[in-house]
Structure 1
């Protein structure tokens, strides 16, 4: 007997909660013992699998001293990417105050930024630089919003202030995310509320292939400023998915 969309939603939510009940206590125990915790990455990877993503990785993600610059399709990009590269993320400050979600983000060392806070930009950049100095891997979505997956939006150089000038030893690795035939259905575009989009994705039957194409990394010091870094990263992401339409940088 086929499973209805609402039952599928409930089953997936129950599975996510179960994974959370496993990951959080063990993560806190690892932290108490001052051990590097693999549990945030495990939980996010499990979450990606629960929502139906079957990850396909092309290329080799760097593990440390790296800023990943990725196109952005949906909130699902975060668990899918983190399950592959163990990265922390840069997110809008509002996310920190979303019940449960904000707390979960802190477990994965998310760095919250307030883009409209021009007076606090220097402090936010220092926070990112400190994270990179601790050899974190950080992911930034330089489009600044989600796209339909068919058009690659301009990469906003303003979001790459942490790379101007680049911290010592840090490389940039562009990433292209592609949901294949499910891209149009799963991309989060328009004015759809986040909760509605999450419900729609969790109700979707079946699985989908989420391809993560990790492009060759490059040294940002070889490029004159953040605009050139953004242009180079965008060109590599576009080349990795030759079907992505070109738009002005």
Structure 2
């Protein structure tokens, strides 16, 4: 079904690119989420243009869910670009690639994020840097938030909580499970499950990226409530 959806979406996508921007990649990714069983709803004010979304990270499904719900682009580690199929799909959605291990390039990375926010599509990043077990929020890395500390004029920063509810553990992807095993496990499960994308209030403007990361994490933890294990900041 995923392959069939790709075949259906590919011709209009390529045709749209001849005349400018294609709106098909988020539609395709949202359709993939539905095929995988996700029944996505949103809560909160719709995302506005020039918005940086700070999102908790549970599963690779997060990308499908977020793209379908908000039409967002993503900040991704550069290794994704080198994967033949995944890299090509990420390119079609205008993914921004970051060399996360290049600590000396933080300024350039922040500049790339700021430039991407000039586009009217939202841009999402996962500050935990990796997926988790579904019940614990990892520390939020503040480096890329330098692009919005302070935020460029007309730009907003919003935390987003992806809430899998009772399925949070089943959707989690933590250390010890290979990517292949995780994909087969999630694609092989039967039935559907609800996912709520909680679009939280924008963060107040500020110049302290560490404080911004902390505030985003607190907001997401509060939004997830009993679905997350409280942890030290």
TM-score (norm 1): 0.88
Q: How far is the alpha carbon of 1:156 from its aligned partner? A: 1.5
Paired residues of 2:66 and 2:72 also in contact (CA < 8 A): yes
Verify: 1:226 aligned to 2:212, yes or no: no
Greater CA radius of gyration, 1 or 2? 1
Instruction: Measure, in 1, the Cα distance between the counterparts of 2:156 and 2:165.
Output: 28
Summarize deviations over 1:98-141 as a string: whole Å, max 9, x none: 12111000100111111112343333222211111123310011
Question: 1:246 aligned to 2:204?
Answer: no
Q: Does 1:107 align with 2:118?
A: no
**Aligned residues of 2:57 and 2:128 also touching (Cα < 8 A):** yes
**Retained in 2: the 8 A contact 1:59–1:215?**
yes
- Provide the residue aligned with 2:78 in structure 1: 93
**1:134 corresponds to which residue?**
119
Q: State the 1:150 CA deviation.
A: 1.4
What do residues 79-107 of structure 1 show as CA deviations (whole Å, max 9, x unaligned)? Answer: 01110000000111111111211100010
SS of equivalent residue, structure 1 residue 100: helix
Displacement of 1:37: 2.1
Counterpart selection for 2:12 from 17, 26, 29: 26
Summarize the Cα distance change of 1:227–1:120 in structure 2 as closer, same or farther, 3 Å threshold: closer
Q: Tell me if structure 2 keeps the 8 A contact 1:63–1:85.
A: no
Task: Structure 1: state its 5+ residue gaps.
Answer: 1-14
Q: Deviations over 1:58-99 (max 9, x none)?
A: 112313110111111000000011100000001111111112
- Sort the Cα spacing of 1:161 and 1:224 in 2 relative to 1 into closer, same or farther, 3 A: closer
Indicate if the aligned counterparts of 1:149 and 1:178 stay in contact, CA closer than 8 A.
no
Q: What is the aligned length? A: 232
Structure 1 contact 154–247 (Cα < 8 Å) conserved: no
Residue number in structure 1 paired with 2:220: 237
Select the residue among 102, 115, 123 that pairs with 2:108: 123
Q: Which runs of 5+ in 2 are unaligned?
A: none
C-alpha displacement of 1:218: 2.7
Local SS of the residue matching 2:123: strand
- Name the CA distance, whole Å, in 2 between partners of 1:122 and 1:215: 27
Q: How does 1:11-160 map to 2 (within 5 A)?
A: 15-34=1-20, 36-160=21-145
The correspondence for 1:180, drawn from 158, 165, 185, is: 165
Poorly superposed stretches of 4+, deviation over 3 Å:
none
Alignment RMSD:
1.4
1:47 positional shift? 0.3
